[in-house]
Amino acid sequence: MANVHPTAVVEDGAQIADEAVVGPYCIIGSTVTLNPGVELMSHVVVAGNTKIGAGTRIFPHACIGLPPQDLKYKGEKTYLTIGENNIIREHATLHPGTASGKGETRVGNNCLFMVNTHVAHDCQVGNNVVMANNAVMGGHVSIDDFAIIGGNSAVQQFVRI
């Protein structure tokens, strides 16, 4: 059975692996999947059609899978897929895709998203990517494996790194 803190809110339908840990005051939506070894520290919100890969650790106040910040988004069924062994630090935001884009935002494995990073709608992030504090991506960005995005950097939409 998953280790879910009694103050966490987990909506019916959420799929939480037995080896996952959901800390205090987390909110998990009904269409979320947390794989084995996922750890949500505290005050983490995971919503939408979001799948989080095994071994991923998410720190307080991260917002994962909330509706994208795109005026064309009208609630369509879109996805956020996060790979394995990622570290998502405090106040990071990762959004799902849009119907006018690929319909999915995808993050690879072994990535580090430091404090206040933002992965916008329809982004594709490779493996072993590091985004330093306050680095942000606009929509439809592709970042290949082993890229490092420096602190306070902004990546314009539709860019490939």
Strands 15-16 and 33-34: parallel
Cα dihedral across residues 44, 111, 106, 148: positive or negative: positive
List the structure tokens of 102: 């690929």
- The set of catalytic residues is 121-122, 139
Say whether pLDDT at 1 is over 70.
no
Say whether pLDDT at 158 is over 70.
yes
Separation of alpha carbons 69 and 56, rounded Å: 24
pLDDT digits (tens, 9 = 90+) for 63-119: 999 999 999 999 999 999 999 999 999 999 999 999 999 999 999 999 999 999 999
pLDDT digits (tens, 9 = 90+) for 97-107: 999 999 999 99
Average pLDDT of the chain is 97
Burial zone of 156 (CB within 10 Å; 0-12 exposed, 13-18 middle, 19+ buried): exposed
30: nearest Cα among 18, 16, 14: 14
